Amino acid sequence: MKDVVSRCPIEETMRVLSGRWPTLLLYYLKDGTKRFSDLRRDNPTVSHRILALELRKLEDAGIVRRTAHPGYPLRVDYDLTGPGRRLVPLIDALGSWWVHTEDDRTGRSPISETNLDTAA
Amino acid sequence: MKDVVSRCPIEETMRVLSGRWPTLLLYYLKDGTKRFSDLRRDNPTVSHRILALELRKLEDAGIVRRTAHPGYPLRVDYDLTGPGRRLVPLIDALGSWWVHTEDDRTGRSPISETNLDTAA
DNA sequence: GGCTGGTTACAGAATTGTGCGTAATTTACA
DNA sequence: TGTAAATTACGCACAATTCTGTAACCAGCC
């Protein structure tokens, strides 16, 4: 990718949210504070390296707050910032959009007077 | 919500919207019908190949409708489907989220009353 | 031959995964 | 009591995989 700094906010947002993990991490973090190992447990298919990189990316974007506790064994907490929490419902909206478009994808119309299929 | 598919709808949505082009194409298509060459002109940095691939992906996702007119020279129109149009405000919301988090990113207080938030 | 939309073949860039190393402290065990 | 190993959250080097771009080619009518 180039070093192009886009002025389009949508592009900027997508630069952060693109990929498989960011929205998933948001999803797990909306429950509250999680530790690195918690997040790995939540999603066993992320490699530790990628998890660290993604968390760093979200931190840089101001979505996630990283809190390192001094002492050993190491302990680091992650939770959503204000912007991060405000982002959650938007992500959820995308999720429901997908669910609703299922009707369109399967060629059915959503709940209407003409349609009384056995719903899903 | 039930265990509809084995995968999360947010993940499915992001699988389609991830990357640099999908949201940009949505942005250009929300004005109305466009042809392949129009979209290339709108965004000169997409390669011919990628544009075709991305449009195909959006078509498969039910976001974009492809209409090939018979006759030569070839002519193909692209426009948003119903789901595609319903997606636009959600994308816009992500854009305004980014604009509003600017305050947080730049360390300014988000207190606003005399706040002219005109998105770019 | 040129126009348009699209595809294939190959190359190079970017992203992701694997495995090893590290820190200071606790526990395991002989 | 001493030594080894586990723990936790990474960083680094490297391999594998995926993504993107370039260029050429196709179709069929003017």
Task: Write the CA distances from B40 to A17, B35, B43, B48, integer angstroms.
Answer: 25, 9, 5, 7
B62-94 pLDDT, tens digit per residue, is 999 999 998 888 899 999 999 999 999 999 999
Dihedral class, residue A62 (left if φ above 0, else alpha if ψ from -120 to 50, else beta): left
Q: Pick from B80, B78, B81: which is nearest to B34 by CA?
A: B78
Chain B 79-98 residues whose Cβ is under 7 Å from strand D: none
Domains observed in chain B: 9-105 (1.10.10.10)
Q: Which two tokens stand for residue A64?
A: 């996630």
Query: Residue B72 has what pLDDT?
Result: 82
| Covered bases, chain D (protein CB within 7 Å) | 7-13, 19-24, 27-30
d(CA A62, CA B101): 8
d(CA B13, CA A98): 6
The pLDDT tens digits along chain A (120 residues) read 433 455 688 989 999 999 999 999 999 999 899 999 999 988 888 999 999 999 999 999 999 999 998 877 788 999 999 999 999 999 999 999 999 887 777 655 554 434 433 333
Nucleotide nearest to B45 (CA to C1'): D21
